[in-house]
A and B are shown apart, each in its own frame.
Chain A
Amino acid sequence: MTYYKENLEYNLKRDNDTNNLKYLFELQKSFQSLLKSNIPQTKLHVISKYNIEQIKNQILALYDEVGEALREVPWKPWKFNQQFNVSKFKMELIDIFHFLINLFLLSGMNTQEVINLFKNKNKINLRRQKNGY
């Protein structure tokens, strides 16, 4: 737990984290605008039918990418000479992250909200580990 806490403090220096994540969000927004897929540029309070369609498509893509990541892992007991191609696996995780960012954007979340909700959920998870569900 101490190791975990130290890492958490090290990794969650708020300003840097927010900026790094913000940078990734901006990169993804500009990529999506190249694709003309209309990721909302501002926070959405009302999710239109069009965005529901987008959300569905992004979730489908996410499933696909998760499957691709799984295929890079040598988990099949009957398959001999399986290699764990870590660099390909990492790239699949990055693909997953792209679509996850798209989903954050489509649901109107900014980086600060992502970080806040993540931290809140992390606290809940820690409490659950300590006290049980």
Chain B
Amino acid sequence: MDIKKLEYIFEKVKQSGTKNSLQQFIYTVEEIGEIAEVLRSMYGDLRKNNLHHNHLIQEIGDTLITLYLLSKFEDLDFFEIFEFAINKEYKRWGGK
């Protein structure tokens, strides 16, 4: 994982005018909408274009980056948060 690249993106995002996590969150909302579009297409909604796994991979990736940036605006460690969440969910499902 190249954290330096992520930090570079964060600096550029700040320079471009996004000021805080609330402003960053709208990007997450946008990406979630895109995931919804891909899933509608993948699961047979004929009103949607031909979207497949590759699109889903792309949208999930984009969403993760928006969440990384959102965490960064709050000075939080995204990967630590992710690890904590995994452990919490693991225990919730009975993992030891």
Instruction: Check A67 against B26 for contact (C-beta < 8 Å).
Output: no
Instruction: Check B33 against A66 for contact (C-beta < 8 Å).
Output: yes
Q: Tell me, in angstroms, the Cα distance from A8 to B94 when the chains sit together.
A: 54
Instruction: Check A63 against B33 for contact (C-beta < 8 Å).
Output: yes
Most B Cβ at <10 Å: residue of A63, A66, A70, A78 = A63
Q: Tell me, in angstroms, the Cα distance from A75 to B17 when the chains sit together.
A: 11
Question: Of A64, A75, A77, which contacts B37 at CB under 8 A?
Answer: A64
Residues of B within 8 A of A (CB): 13, 16-18, 26, 29-30, 32-34, 36-37, 39-40, 45, 48
Decide yes or no whether A60 CB sits under 8 A from chain B: yes
Number of residues on chain A facing chain B (CB within 8 A): 12
Residue of A nearest to B33 (CB): A67
Digit string of A67-83 for contact with B (CB within 8 Å is 1, else 0)?
Answer: 11011000101100000
Q: Tell me, in angstroms, the Cα distance from A68 to B37 when the chains sit together.
A: 9
Instruction: Check A77 against B29 for contact (C-beta < 8 Å).
Output: no
Instruction: Check B30 against A71 for contact (C-beta < 8 Å).
Output: yes
Cβ of A84 to closest chain B Cβ, rounded Å = 15
Instruction: Check A64 against B33 for contact (C-beta < 8 Å).
Output: yes
Q: Tell me, in angstroms, the Cα distance from A60 to B43 when the chains sit together.
A: 11
Instruction: Check A67 against B29 for contact (C-beta < 8 Å).
Output: yes
Instruction: Check B30 against A67 for contact (C-beta < 8 Å).
Output: yes
Q: Tell me, in angstroms, the Cα distance from A31 to B34 when the chains sit together.
A: 25
Instruction: Check B18 against A67 for contact (C-beta < 8 Å).
Output: no
Q: Tell me, in angstroms, the Cα distance from A67 to B40 when the chains sit together.
A: 13
A-B contact pairs, 13 of them (CB 8 A): A60-B40, A61-B36, A61-B45, A63-B32, A64-B33, A64-B48, A66-B33, A67-B29, A68-B37, A70-B30, A75-B26, A78-B13, A78-B17
Cβ of A87 to closest chain B Cβ, rounded Å = 20
CB neighbours of A63 from chain B (8 A): 32-33, 36
Given contacts A70-B26, A70-B30, contact A64 B40 (CB under 8 A): yes
Instruction: Check B32 against A77 for contact (C-beta < 8 Å).
Output: no
